[in-house]
Structure 1
Amino acid sequence: MRDRNGITIIDTGYVRPGLCAAYLVESGGRAALIDCGTATCAQTVLDAIDAAGVDRAAVDWLMVTHVHLDHAGAAGPLIRALPNAQLVVHPRGAPHMIDPTRLIAGAKAVYGEAMFERDHAGMRPVPEARVVVAEDGHVVELAGRPLLCIDTPGHALHHYSVWDADTHSWFAGDTFGLSYREFDTAMGPFVVPTTSPVQFDPAQMHASIDTLLARAPESIRVAHYGEVDDCVRLGADLHEQIDAMVTLARAAQGAPDRHARIVDGLTRLYTARAHDHGVEDAPARVAEVLGGDIEINAMGLEVWLDRAAR
């Protein structure tokens, strides 16, 4: 549903409802799509654009905060279906959108062939002529509504976040963590950092969170999932958890069961925090909703440990 600021949240349908969002931003009869889900989500996103009453030819920009496939995998199919859209992508991500061979290979290595075919099949390259490289500070003009791209590494080196001055808010991709609505309580939203492979860096993530908070945003829209406020509290929560995650990962370094120890540590950390946040039956809820993210976060922490050890 379109809000008063001309922003429509689109559930891309990736894996389950309420997991992965894209955002349609409208201004002056034109539109920008921020993030787009996996290739298998392309038709769902197109249907949502149609349902919002936006002509596909009015979509001028497809902005991907980074090139992980749940954010950018549908770019190739969508560019072909949105005749006037240009893809706005970080300089480090642009080559992988033009030739996604390495992205596909990396996703298969992380998820396996069967899961890749289920969730990511149908990726296509984006024609180079329709790619706009967004250096730090790049401004996308959306019919008089400037959308500012700011580098925010930590989750990935090819990550930018989008500042919308009209709403004094960010579209933050994965930089401001995961905030699933299943964990909302009377205390507000709940947040968890995302350290998925292969470029997690704690110092960069801390700095990027501070970059977002420095503008005193009224809200932050995350990809997983939706709009959150109470940004200062959530930022502090993220900082605390990043440090705790790094500590437990380092404690597991060298152990033969390193992965299992990190998974257990993350599960305990998130469960304790969910309980303190007032989430009912926190152990079961964390296992059900965050189980996959815990596995991926553990893998990202391990890649970081191995890189730091070299």
Structure 2
Amino acid sequence: MTVAASYQIHHLAPRIYQIVLTPPIKGFDNFIAAWLVRGPDAVYLVDVGPAVTVTQLTDALSELGVAHLDYICLTHIHIDHAGAIGHLALQFAGTPVICHPKGVPHIVDPERLWQGTVKTLGDTARAYERMLPVAPASIATESDLAAAPFQLLDTPGHSPHHYAIAAAECLFAGEAGGVCLPLSSGETYLRPATPPRFFLETSLASIDRIMAAAPRTICYGHFGLQNNGMQMLARHRDQILFWEKTLSTALDEGISGSQDGYERWVDLMLRKDPNLKGFEELSLEVQERERGFLLNSVKGFAGYLTYRRENLDA
């Protein structure tokens, strides 16, 4: 296994620790994290990062004196969030692994997930490294879930196998609330995480479901903690609707869903969306990373808008 850069531990709230993981990919510093909650009723992880950073994660847990976990939770099975789950399930044998039911078959037998990820992400997937399978006996049972000190919110949109996790201390949004990066100016850069296949109504319903939990504090899969949870979720909901309106107009004006069209859509959103105005504050390597993800996000909208028009015309 490739040895990546060092981890960082940030104690961001009384019971919440962010463990920052650094895969060996340019521009991916301060982008991927696992969250450790040391609650009064349970100690648990939310997301585990890619396989390549599993040593960083286990070293961080050792530094924090964590020898036992009551739960290991996955917001979703994308390998930047869940790639190390097979390794963790072996190290913390007997700890229930919580995963969306639609995702469970893919962590028990991750080959299809791996092949699909390589097809989509190429060298980035290979840098994340392969997921080890999770034994079926490690998957949380109904009684495990009933005893858990948090609520699982079914939040498809970013992916069909996505949970947001509502705890007393915080809401762990995964990518259902977008990607939120702190900027040196004190502002935040907020980006939709809408890869294909994306459906607007599904994504909005997921955001509404999270907002119904009325979180004051929100922890993002990418990247930090924000104490104005409801405000950030409302901002992201408005952003999704703004992208739909703006890109629908672009489609009307003949900017097609070709590769050149997608690049023009990215440039359009960087000009038009005030939530992206901090893009120029990012380092050039991070800008390159973000441009790749923005390209994936506009592709999701392109597929949705095309699907909607074809079905309206049918």
TM-score (norm 2): 0.82
Q: Is contact 2:218-2:225 (8 Å) kept?
A: yes
* TM-fit CA distance, 1:54: 0.9
Is the deviation greater in 244-253 or in 227-236? 244-253
Establish whether residue 221 from structure 1 lines up as the match of residue 219 from structure 2. Answer: yes
Deviation at 1:27, TM superposition (A): 2.8
Checking the alignment, whether the CA contact within 8 Å between 1:221 and 1:227 is kept in structure 2 is yes
Which residue of the partner structure matches residue 171 of structure 1? 172
- Structure 1 residue 18 corresponds to structure 2 residue 30: yes
Write the deviation string for residues 249-292 of structure 1: whole angstroms up to 9, x where unpaired.
44348856633323332333234445886x48459878356222
Alignment of 1:193-204 (within 5 A): 193-198=192-197, 200-204=198-202
Q: Which amino acid aligns with 2:166?
A: W
Equivalent position SS for 1:179? strand
- Give 1:295 deviation, angstroms: 2.1
Query: 293-302 or 5-14: which moved more?
Result: 293-302
Partner of 2:240, secondary structure, is helix
Q: Which amino acid aligns with 1:215?
A: A
Q: Does 1:2 align with 2:1?
A: no
Amino acid at match of 1:231: G
Matches within 5 A, 1:180-219: 180-182=181-183, 185-186=185-186, 188-198=187-197, 200-219=198-217
- The answer on 1:153 being equivalent to 2:156 is yes
Shift of 1:86: 1.8
CA distance in 2, matches of 1:275, 1:2: 27
CA contact (8 A) 2:266 2:291 kept: no
Query: Is 1:299 matched up with 2:303?
Result: no
1:123 paired with 2:122, answer no
In the alignment, is the contact (CA less than 8 A) between 2:173 and 2:219 conserved in 1?
yes
Distance 1:45 1:140, change over 3 A: farther
CA separation of 1:275/1:212 partners in 2, compared to 1, >3 Å: closer, same or farther? closer
Per the TM alignment, residue 222 of structure 1 is displaced from its structure 2 partner at its CA by: 0.5
Asked whether the equivalents of residues 274 and 282 of structure 1 are also in contact (C-alpha less than 8 Å), the reply is no
Question: How far apart are the structure 1 equivalents of 2:282 and 2:39?
Answer: 43
Distance across 2 between alignment mates of 1:202 and 1:126:
32
Alpha-carbon offset, residue 229 of structure 1: 2.6
2:209 and 2:263 map into 1 onto residues whose CA distance is 29
Q: Distance in 2 between matches of 1:92 and 1:68?
A: 12
Q: How many Å apart are 1:17 and its aligned residue?
A: 1.8
Consecutive unaligned residues of structure 1, counting only runs of 5 or more, are none
Alpha carbons of structure 1 residues 107 and 9: separation in structure 2 relative to 1, 3 Å: same
Q: Is the 8 A contact 1:263 1:294 kept in 2?
A: no
- The one-letter amino acid of 1:176's match is G
SS in structure 2 at match of 1:22? strand
Q: Matched residue of 1:36: which SS? A: coil
After TM superposition, the structure 1 stretch with the greater mean CA deviation from structure 2, 220-229 or 234-243, is 234-243
Structure 2 residues not aligned, in runs of 5+: 1-9
| Cα distance in 1 between the residues matched to 2:263 and 2:96 | 40
Length, aligned pairs only: 294
Question: Which shifted more, 221-230 or 281-290?
Answer: 281-290
How do 1:38-77 residues align onto structure 2 when only pairs under 5 Å count?
Answer: 38-55=50-67, 58-77=68-87
SS of 2:189's equivalent?
coil
Which residue of 2 is the match for residue 236 of structure 1? 234
Contact residue 257 and residue 302 of structure 2 kept, 8 A: no
8 Å contact 1:259–1:302 — kept in the other structure? Answer: no
- 1:190 is paired with a residue whose SS is strand
Confirm or deny: 8 A CA contact 1:197 1:303 kept in the other structure.
yes
Q: TM-score, with normalisation over the residues of structure 1?
A: 0.83
Most deviating of 2-11 and 90-99: 2-11
Q: Counterpart in 2 of 1:88?
A: 98
Aligned-partner SS, 2:242: helix
Contact 2:191 2:275 in 1 (8 A): no
What SS is found at the alignment partner of 2:166? Answer: strand
